[in-house]
């Protein structure tokens, strides 16, 4: 599946180039983004696609190509594949001496174990009342 915000002719050119590297069927799902860093639009489109694919197959059968698109797109794919759709494979591509190369994307930390707990703790600390703001609990505390 290819999410594309490009005009049809540019999408067709890209698919032509990809077909030199991949033998899979490529289905295009047009999306409209406000701009190339429209994180919410990218998230909604990527999440909907992954949810659809996860309903049809096992998560570990889903592979996400992080190389095409913008850095915002790659970031959203990585966040989704490492949290909500953990188990999906991330891969990247590049040309080396004119030949296409593919490799897995290795994220050397676990977002759900290494990042999210710290973020949740910081948010909880912001919401927790400080000692100076605690109300008196009985007449002797006042």
Q: What is the largest CA-CA distance in the chain?
A: 80
- Residue 51 in this model has a pLDDT that exceeds 70: yes
- Residue 59 in this model has a pLDDT that exceeds 60: yes
Token code pair at residue 131: 């000692």
pTM to 2 decimals? 0.76
Q: Higher-confidence residue: 68 or 88?
A: 88
CA dihedral of 81, 84, 86, 88, whole degrees rounded to 10:
-40
Q: Higher-confidence residue: 135 or 96?
A: 96
Helix (H, G, I), strand (E, B) or coil at 75: helix
Average per-residue pLDDT for the chain: 87
**Could you tell me the pLDDT band of residue 11, with boundaries at 50, 70 and 90?**
very high
CATH number for the domain running over 2-130:
3.40.50
């Amino acid at each position: 599946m290819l999410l594309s915000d490009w005009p049809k002719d540019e999408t067709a050119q890209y698919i032509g180039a990809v077909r030199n590297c991949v033998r899979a069927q490529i289905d295009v799902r047009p999306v409209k983004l406000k701009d190339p860093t429209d994180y919410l639009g990218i998230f909604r489109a990527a999440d909907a696609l992954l949810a659809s694919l996860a309903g049809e197959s096992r998560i570990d059968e889903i592979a996400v190509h992080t190389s095409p698109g913008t850095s915002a797109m790659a970031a959203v794919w990585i966040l989704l594949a490492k949290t909500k759709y953990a188990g999906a494979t991330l891969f990247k591509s590049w040309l080396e001496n004119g030949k296409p190369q593919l490799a897995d994307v290795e994220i050397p930390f676990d977002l759900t174990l290494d990042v999210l707990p710290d973020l949740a703790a910081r948010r909880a600390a912001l919401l927790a009342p400080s000692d100076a703001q605690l109300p008196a609990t009985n007449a002797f505390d006042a």
